[in-house]
C-alpha cells in the first residue's frame, strides 16, 4: 500500500511562502470550540473547580532555552542550553481585564465567535535549574516545591494524569506554552499540563537548526519523564507531540528503553507510568519512527499516530528530507519485515492509526497541519482520549481495513453526534 503521493514543487514552494507569512503572525488565538461542545448538550466546564473559573490558565513548563532578558515578560530566548529549567507560566485569555468567567465560558462553547480571542503571556515563574550532571532523584528544595505544587493540582482536579506537551518547529516560548494552555482550558481545566519547550529558531528558514535542536533536546525530555515519574503523583504521564516535536518524543522514548534495557519491560512500564502517547502531524522520518516504535511500544500504554495524506507542511518536510514523514507516510519505504510488524501492531490495542483527512474535509482545509487544535473534530477526539483513556471505538471513531491489512480509524460523517454520545457515556461510567 502506498499512502503518499508526491506534490509538485510549485505547491511546495507555495507552502514555504505560506509558512513564511505565518511566521510573522506571532499571536496565538483561542482554538475553535471542539465539536462535542458546540450544541450545549455537553460542556467541558460542568465540573470545573471554582478557583479555576477565571481568565488565567496556569501551565507548568520545562525548557532547555536560555532565559530572555525580561523573564517575566518574554520567558525564554531561542538559545540552546544544556540545562533544564522548570517553572510555571500563566496565560491570560483575551485583552479585556474586566471580562468574567461567564464571558469566557460562553465563547468557549459556541460554533462561531464574533472575533478572535488572543492568548497573552501573563507571568513566568522559574522554580529551578536542573544541570546535565544532576540525576532525576535530585533532592533540591526547589524541585520539591515545584512538584508539591503539581501534586496539589493533580489532587484537586478530576483528571489524575499529567500531560507533557511537546511543540513543533518555528515556535517561541510564548506560542508553545499558549498551545498547551488552550488544551488545558478545553479539558475543562481538569488536566495538569507541562509544556516541554525545546529551542526552536522561530524561523522556517532555520528548519535545519530546529531539527538538530529537537534531536539534542530528546535526552533532556527522557530525563524529565524519569524525574516526573519519580516526583509526581500522576496516575499516568501522557505525551502529546506536535509536528517536529515527534522527533523529540520518539527519540526520548527510545532512549528511556535503551537506558533501561536490563529492566523487565513490564516493570519499566509500571515505573515510568507512561500512558497515552499521541503524535499529531508527526514530522519525523517514517521508517525511523517505525524502528523507534518497535523499541518502546511495550513500555507505554498506547501510541496514536494521526495521518493526513494532504498535509502540505509534511509534504514540504518530506521534500527537504528526501523521505516521507510519519504523519504523511509512504509504506513503500519500509522493509517487508517492518511492514509485517506495523500491520500487526495496528491490530493491537496499544497502537492506533487515525486518518484525520476525514475530519479535515468538512472544514475545507485539506492541507492542514495544525489540525490537532484548529480542527474541532480532531481536538474533540484528543480531549476525550486523554481524559478517559478510551479506545477509538468508544470515542466515536469508525474502523476500516486497508488493502494491505492495516487497521485504520477515521471520523465518520456523524462524528459530532457520536462524540457527544461518547462524552455522555464515558462520564456516566466514570467513578
Nearest to 313 by CA among 3, 14, 25: 14
* 80 DSSP β-pair partners: 65
Residue percentage of the chain with pLDDT more than 70:
90
pLDDT at res. 72: 79
pLDDT at res. 4: 39
Give the pLDDT confidence of 343-385 residue by residue, as tens digits: 999 999 999 999 998 886 555 455 689 999 999 999 999 999 9
Of the ranges 61-65, 125-129, 206-210, the best mean pLDDT one: 61-65
Q: What is the distance, to the nearest Å, from the Cα of residue 48 to the centroid of all Cα atoms in its chain?
A: 22
8 A C-beta contact, residue 277 and residue 221: no
Q: For 252-311, give the secondary structure using H, E and C.
A: HHHHHHHHCCCCCHHHHHHHHCEEEEEEECCCCEHHHHHHHHHHHHHHCCEEEEEECCCC
pLDDT at res. 6: 38
| Better-predicted residue by pLDDT, 14 or 141 | 141
8 A C-beta contact, residue 172 and residue 63: no
pTM recorded for the entire structure: 0.93
Range scoring the smallest mean pLDDT among 46-60, 127-141, 232-246, 267-281: 127-141
Q: pLDDT grade, residue 11 (50/70/90)? A: very low
pLDDT at res. 5: 38
- Residue 134 backbone dihedrals phi, psi, to 5 degrees: -80, 140
CA–CA gap between residue 339 and residue 342 (Å, rounded): 5
pLDDT at res. 272: 98
- Residue 38 backbone dihedrals phi, psi, to 5 degrees: -95, -15
8 A C-beta contact, residue 281 and residue 242: yes
CA–CA gap between residue 73 and residue 62 (Å, rounded): 17
CA–CA gap between residue 313 and residue 365 (Å, rounded): 12
pLDDT at res. 430: 83
pLDDT at res. 130: 83
Mean pLDDT of the chain: 90
Range scoring the smallest mean pLDDT among 136-145, 190-199, 217-226: 136-145
Give the pLDDT confidence of 306-322 residue by residue, as tens digits: 999 989 899 999 999 99
CA–CA gap between residue 18 and residue 13 (Å, rounded): 9
pLDDT at res. 8: 40
- Please say if the pLDDT value at position 220 is more than 50: yes
pLDDT at res. 406: 97
pLDDT at res. 358: 82
Q: What is the mean pLDDT of residues 56-77?
A: 92
Nearest to 276 by CA among 252, 300, 247, 251: 300
- Residue 266 backbone dihedrals phi, psi, to 5 degrees: -65, -40
Q: For the chain, give the secondary structure using H, E and C.
A: CCCCCCCCHHHHHHHHHHHHHHHCCCCEECCCCCHHHCCCCCCCCCCCCHHHCCCEEEEEEEEEEEECCCHHHHCEEEEEEEEEEEEEEEEEECCCCCCCHHHHHHHCCCCCCCCCCEEEEEEEEEEEEECCCCCCCCCCHHHHHHHHHHHHHHHHCCCCCEEEEECCCCCCHHHHHHHHHHHHHHCCCCCEEEEEECCCCCCHHHHHHHHHHHHHHHHHHHHHHHHHHHHCCCCCEEEEEECCHHHHHHHHHHHHHHHCCCCCHHHHHHHHCEEEEEEECCCCEHHHHHHHHHHHHHHCCEEEEEECCCCHHHHHHHHHHCCCECCECCHHHCCHHHHHHHHHHHCCCCEEEEECHHHHHHHCCCCCCCHHHHCHHHHHHHHHHHHHCCCHHHHCCEEEECCCCCEEEECCCCHHHHHHHHHHHHHHHCC
* 285 DSSP β-pair partners: 325
pLDDT at res. 363: 53
Q: pLDDT grade, residue 134 (50/70/90)? A: low
Q: What is the mean pLDDT of residues 43-48?
A: 96
Cell of 159: 483528571
Amino acid at each position: 500500500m502506498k499512502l503518499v503521493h508526491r506534490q509538485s514543487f510549485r505547491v511546495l514552494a507555495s507552502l514555504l511562502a505560506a509558512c513564511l507569512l505565518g511566521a510573522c503572525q506571532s499571536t496565538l488565538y483561542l482554538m475553535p470550540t471542539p465539536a462535542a461542545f458546540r450544541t450545549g448538550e455537553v460542556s467541558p466546564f460542568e465540573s470545573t473547580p471554582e478557583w479555576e473559573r477565571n481568565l488565567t490558565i496556569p501551565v507548568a513548563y520545562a525548557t532547555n532555552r536560555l532565559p530572555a532578558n525580561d523573564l517575566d515578560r518574554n520567558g525564554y530566548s531561542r538559545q540552546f542550553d544544556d540545562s533544564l529549567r522548570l517553572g510555571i507560566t500563566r496565560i491570560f485569555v483575551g485583552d479585556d481585564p474586566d471580562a468574567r468567567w461567564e464571558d469566557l465560558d460562553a465563547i468557549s462553547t459556541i460554533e462561531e465567535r464574533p472575533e478572535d480571542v488572543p492568548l497573552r503571556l501573563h507571568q513566568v515563574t522559574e522554580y529551578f535549574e536542573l544541570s546535565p550532571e544532576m540525576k532525576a532523584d535530585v533532592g533540591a528544595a526547589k524541585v520539591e516545591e515545584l512538584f508539591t505544587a503539581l501534586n496539589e493540582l493533580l489532587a484537586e482536579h478530576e483528571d489524575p494524569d499529567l500531560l507533557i506537551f511537546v511543540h513543533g518547529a518555528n515556535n517561541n516560548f510564548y506560542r508553545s506554552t499558549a498551545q498547551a494552555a488552550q488544551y488545558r482550558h478545553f479539558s475543562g481545566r481538569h488536566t495538569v499540563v507541562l509544556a516541554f519547550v525545546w529551542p526552536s529558531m522561530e524561523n522556517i528558514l532555520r528548519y535545519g537548526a530546529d531539527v538538530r535542536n529537537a534531536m539534542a533536546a530528546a535526552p533532556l525530555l527522557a530525563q524529565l519523564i524519569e524525574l516526573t515519574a519519580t516526583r509526581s503523583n500522576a496516575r499516568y504521564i501522557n505525551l502529546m507531540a506536535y509536528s517536529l516535536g515527534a522527533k523529540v518524543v520518539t527519540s526520548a522514548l527510545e532512549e528511556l528503553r535503551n537506558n533501561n534495557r536490563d529492566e523487565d519491560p513490564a516493570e519499566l512500564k509500571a515505573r515510568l507510568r507512561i500512558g497515552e502517547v499521541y503524535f499529531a502531524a508527526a514530522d519525523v522520518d517514517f521508517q525511523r519512527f517505525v524502528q523507534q516504535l518497535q523499541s518502546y511500544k511495550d513500555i507505554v500504554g498506547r501510541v496514536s499516530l494521526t495521518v493526513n495524506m494532504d498535509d502540505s507542511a509534511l509534504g514540504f518536510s518530506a521534500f527537504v528530507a528526501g523521505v516521507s514523514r510519519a504523519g504523511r507516510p509512504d509504506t513503500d519505504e519500509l522493509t517487508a519485515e517492518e511492514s509485517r510488524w506495523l500491520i500487526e501492531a495496528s491490530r493491537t490495542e496499544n497502537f492506533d492509526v487515525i486518518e484525520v483527512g476525514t475530519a479535515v474535509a468538512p472544514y475545507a482545509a485539506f492541507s492542514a497541519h495544525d489540525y490537532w487544535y484548529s480542527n474541532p473534530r480532531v481536538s474533540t477526539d484528543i480531549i476525550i482520549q486523554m481524559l478517559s483513556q478510551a479506545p477509538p471505538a468508544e470515542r466515536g471513531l469508525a474502523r476500516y481495513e486497508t488493502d494491505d491489512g492495516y487497521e485504520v480509524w477515521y471520523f465518520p460523517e456523524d462524528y459530532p453526534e457520536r462524540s457527544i454520545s461518547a462524552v455522555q457515556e464515558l462520564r456516566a461510567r466514570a467513578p
